[in-house]
Amino acid sequence: MDLGPLRQRDFALLFFAGLISLTGNWVLGIALPVAVLGLTGSPAAVATVVAASLLGTIAAGTVAGVYVDRWDRRRVVVVVNVLQVFALLPLLLVDDADRVWIVVAVAFTSQALAQFFQPAENALLPRLVDADRLPAANALNTLNNNLARLVGPALGGVIAVTSGLAGAALVDAGTFAIAAVLCGLIRGSHRAVQETGSEPERHLLRELAEGLRAVGRNRIVRAIFVIIAVSSVGEGMMGTLFAVYVTKALHAGGRELGWLMSAQAVGGIIGSLAATRVTARFRPVPLIATCWTFFGVVDVVIFNYPRWDGAFWPVLALFVIVGLPVGIHLGAIWTLFQIETPDRLRGRAFSAIWMGASIASVIGAAVAGALGDKVDVITLLTVQGVGCIVAGLTFRWLAGPGPASLVRAEARPVPEPAPAASA
């Protein structure tokens, strides 16, 4: 793996901020549903918290990209991290079932704030590294996601047992505070680069429309939108049915569920470590399509395995394998998005893609919920795997041959000096 971007100070600050805060998110993500279920005894209460998170995503995601393209992206990531600290503190008051409404409100608010952070981070990253280091930087970003996924759930399980929801909330809030400090140390001002001689529009609907056109007019960006939307339907189904698959099809429990999550994270880490070398050798569009198709094929094998045998360890090994293409293609697909999208539109275009993914996930969860009692879980999850195969093949068709490489010759924009008052 190319660790060169980590020698560029500002990218390293963003990388470690993301790693720390994502680990905290996984800690809370494991402890929170356990706590809500323990206080209420009601799966419907947990579902309400999940629904509030999705509503926060949709409510803020619609407009977040517009403001990310208006504002200094460095300041956005700093302010969002600070606001997340205060958004999580009310969880310290949740000690009985009558206060679960606080969890619902926090879930909505935290996800709404995240919709500003994600496009700001994606738009900021290309400005912090040299153009030839961008694929490696995105591969490292994928690596820290998988590292957080490996460490966070295990830590979250321990904290859920020893300190409960309050302990997990304090840990997550602390990681956001550390991330805010690290992002605040990034140098310069990082506003979107505007077209020469033009003044940026300040009309919400027109700016939204411009971001949607950026997705619709560019063949590759449009293909990225489609592949993520199609696969997100499957992710919604997977999120709803995975626990059912583990308990009913594999005849396992919560411990084995955690093992499977960690196994996929291990595969993702291995894939991330190989990503820079692999992406340098192959054209990005065929590589992404192949990874996605391979992911779908392995998914189909995983979910149909209980039809053939009952041993658990082969499923665990398959989860490591299915993580490999994820570690490779995620960095490649976001690098491709960044080099195909103008800096001034990057926040809006990313938000449009992420909104499509969120809505698709809701559709997938609704389909799984409606059919879960009528169709066996293996068949439903097989459809999810086939959906990934279809997404990969469709992406290859829609995107065409694509660029020969993920490296572009143009230099990254030079950040403006930060105003003295903001130091």
pLDDT digits (tens, 9 = 90+) for 15-35: 999 999 999 988 888 788 778
Kindly state the DSSP code that residue 305 receives in the 8-state scheme.
Answer: G
411 falls in which pLDDT band (50, 70, 90)? very low
420 falls in which pLDDT band (50, 70, 90)? very low
Residue 108 has pLDDT above 80, yes or no: yes
pLDDT of residue 59: 85
Question: Over pLDDT 90: what percentage of the chain?
Answer: 26
The Cα–Cα gap between 270 and 323 comes to 8
pLDDT digits (tens, 9 = 90+) for 276-302: 888 888 899 999 999 999 999 999 999
Q: Locate the domains of the chain by residue range.
A: 1-189, 210-407
**Residue given tokens 């403001």 in the structure block:** 67
| Residue of 135 and 254 predicted with greater confidence | 135
Residue 418 has pLDDT above 60, yes or no: no
- State residue 416 phi and psi, 5-degree precision: -75, 150
Intrachain domains 1-189 and 210-407 with the same fold:
yes
Mean pLDDT of 197-201: 55
pTM for the model stands at 0.81
**Second CATH level (architecture) for the domain 210-407:** Up-down Bundle (1.20)
pLDDT of residue 238: 81
pLDDT of residue 413: 52
pLDDT of residue 196: 53
Longest dimension (CA), the chain: 67
Instruction: Report the top-level CATH class of 1-189.
Output: mainly alpha
| Residue of 345 and 194 predicted with greater confidence | 345
pLDDT digits (tens, 9 = 90+) for 312-364: 889 999 999 999 998 888 888 988 988 888 888 888 888 888 888 888 888 88
The Cα–Cα gap between 111 and 59 comes to 9
Residues in Cβ contact with 239 at an 8 Å cutoff, skipping those fewer than 6 apart:
361, 364, 365
pLDDT digits (tens, 9 = 90+) for 43-86: 677 777 877 888 888 888 888 888 888 888 999 999 999 999 99
Residue 223 has pLDDT above 50, yes or no: yes
pLDDT of residue 292: 93
pLDDT of residue 423: 31
**Residue given tokens 């619709």 in the structure block:** 216
Long-range contacts of 91-100 (CB under 8 A, 24+ apart): 91/165, 91/166, 91/169, 92/166, 92/169, 92/170, 94/35, 94/39, 94/165, 94/166, 96/39, 97/39, 97/40, 97/45, 100/36, 100/39, 100/40, 100/45, 100/49
Residue 194 has pLDDT above 90, yes or no: no
5 falls in which pLDDT band (50, 70, 90)? confident
422 falls in which pLDDT band (50, 70, 90)? very low
Residues in Cβ contact with 124 at an 8 Å cutoff, skipping those fewer than 6 apart:
14, 73, 74, 77, 186, 190
Task: Report yes or no: 148 and 38 within 8 Å, Cβ to Cβ.
Answer: no
pLDDT digits (tens, 9 = 90+) for 353-408: 888 888 888 888 788 777 877 888 888 889 889 989 999 999 999 998 888 888 76
Task: Using the CB atoms, write b or e for 302-327: b if 16+ within 10 Å.
Answer: bbebbeeeeebeebbebbbbbbbbbb
Task: Report yes or no: 361 and 239 within 8 Å, Cβ to Cβ.
Answer: yes
The Cα–Cα gap between 279 and 391 comes to 20
Residue 178 has pLDDT above 80, yes or no: yes
| Residue of 244 and 394 predicted with greater confidence | 394
Residue 190 has pLDDT above 70, yes or no: yes
Average pLDDT along the chain = 84
The Cα–Cα gap between 374 and 190 comes to 52
**Residue given tokens 């990388």 in the structure block:** 15
Question: Over pLDDT 70: what percentage of the chain?
Answer: 93
- State residue 189 phi and psi, 5-degree precision: -105, 140
